[in-house]
Structure 1
């Protein structure tokens, strides 16, 4: 009987792993810019989910919980190692697009930690505002405020960087 329950738990986790590991990896990679570090962060998030799978599997926002764990692990790696901001680049990207991508990435990392976390969960992880609020245990209004202020700050920083880039030409 115990073995049957473990098998069912493992099967449920296996199905979730197949869907959620790639998303946790993509989120971690966008934060870290390093494939190996992103794989480690995603694997650690999934290991933590597996360790408490009975509880995690019953969460209404299970996916958001796992992505939050992955983003926390990635952000911890950045803080601990003082990793440089690495910008994942597209294969065929012109200079202007690359400069804008670098500016966006630097601006994202310049946001206050809480604001960056909310913006990353909303736009990079693709969670809805109610999911972000539920995941972080904060009000929907707080999420909306951080999203609005974060976008405005990003817009301002990128506009300033574009002006600097244009002045350099």
Structure 2
């Protein structure tokens, strides 16, 4: 599988170069760091899925950044305006919501559960999640995003990022 390894190594270089640019671009459109990182991860996951063709494009970087732009625009369109900000929870309410989130976390597929737990409960950055799980950074990003999307879908209005999702370690 030398071809697959070379493909992965080539993509890893592109990923490390373009993820920050794609995330910054998406952030300018969305104003939300987590959503911007999700968009960048999805754009790069789509590029990886088509890597044999995308890698040969003379405008490869532009193609990936355009996909990120389109995804960010789609995400901005899907946003539901919040009419009332959520009130901060007291300690008891926060504990109940956190227990519901952890219960829902247990229902995720194994890799998504591991990725989300490492990223948000342990505070690891996505490259650290990838290293811990022995997967690429792009794959780790996709598992985190899909896991959070599933949690949001299952919990609906009860999904409180302020209780579950903290900022990953910056060190």
- TM-score of the two chains, using structure 1 as the length reference: 0.47
Per residue, is there more helix in 1 or in 2? 1
The structure with the larger Rg is 1
TM-score (normalised: structure 2): 0.46
